[in-house]
Amino acid sequence: MDDSSPDQIIKEIPGFVRVYKDGRFLKLSGTEVVPPGLDLSTNVQSKDVVISHDTPLSVRLYVPNNANPDGKKLPLLIYYHGGGFVIETASSPKYQNFLNLVASESNVVIVSVDYRTAPQYPVPACYQDSWDAIMWTMQHVKGNGPESWLNEYPDYGNVFMAGDSAGANIVHHMAIRIGSEDPGRVINLRGIMLLNPYFWGKDRIGSEEEHPWKSALGDVWMFAHPGTSGLDDPLINPDMDPKVSDLGCSRVLVCVAEKDILKDRGLYYKDILAKNGWSGEIEVVEDKGEDHVFFLFYPSGENAIALRKRMCTFINHANGN
């Protein structure tokens, strides 16, 4: 192909994105979407709500159909999807399936945030969207917000956040922001769950050096955040973040997968919090024989079922149930 052709590929990150010379790009996965609605297998109802047309920013809400029969409010889970800050959406069939199961099994109301992704909207747009979604959700604390489901069903004394991969990274930063910017504890964040979190760094640790994906992980970050200071940017390397001990919750669950290149970063997260003086309770669990976000791809597998039970226990233990 002629090098001057607009169809010349100037960059490709396998499985993520292909960029052409004329500026066009093609996302290589995570583009399939499904509508919300009643899921007959879990009896969970979902719907999409637009928060901002300008941004654009929306959320997908999930409520178990048997919610609130006796007026008892349910814990609230704010969820952030993964995809390297580049691919996937809250409308993805993988997330629709996963969150229907989580809502049903844990008996929670879920706000799944459809934050903006690169390259149209480079990092840090995703973090601002994620914070804006929290602020919008908290408009409903007194029962007079713009969305009826969030006025009626959640217990705002029991708020949790969870995410996988890049979404787990976002959860970490939202918890820090809550801890540092919400001194009056308007947001009662009881705990966070980081599922196969996407953290990285300039220097290799653990088994990263031998992994074939080691260069791609850095490439994804540099592509998603062209203005980054590099692979030791505090946004991607929590070990470099002076605010890491501001985590605004008392409990953390980290789930890593044995075959995942990101495993060692997830394991190290506990040490980072400890050496920076965070005094909460952290549990780190490794799923043997599994790879990155396996629970999205094989939801009926034994380890995926165990992971969702772990989430349920984490939420409902903190909830006093």
Active centre residues (catalytic)? 165, 260, 292
The Cα 93–Cα 34 span in angstroms is 6
State the residue for tokens 């609130």.
68
Tokens of 167: 């979404």
H or E element at residue 30: none
Q: Would you call 120 exposed, middle or buried from its count of C-beta atoms within 10 A (0-12, 13-18, 19+)? A: exposed
What does the angle CA 274 – CA 279 – CA 280 come to, to the nearest 5 degrees? 105
- Tell me how far apart the alpha carbons of residues 300 and 156 are, in angstroms, rounded to a whole number: 31
Strand locations in 208-298, DSSP E?
A: 251-257, 281-287
Give the number of C-alpha atoms closer than 13 A to the C-alpha of residue 217, restricted to the C-beta side: 26
**DSSP letters for 87-130:** S--TT-HHHHHHHHHHHHHHT-EEEEEE---TTTS-TTHHHHHH
E strands in the chain: 9-13, 17-20, 25-27, 38-39, 44-52, 57-64, 74-80, 109-114, 154-164, 189-195, 251-257, 281-287
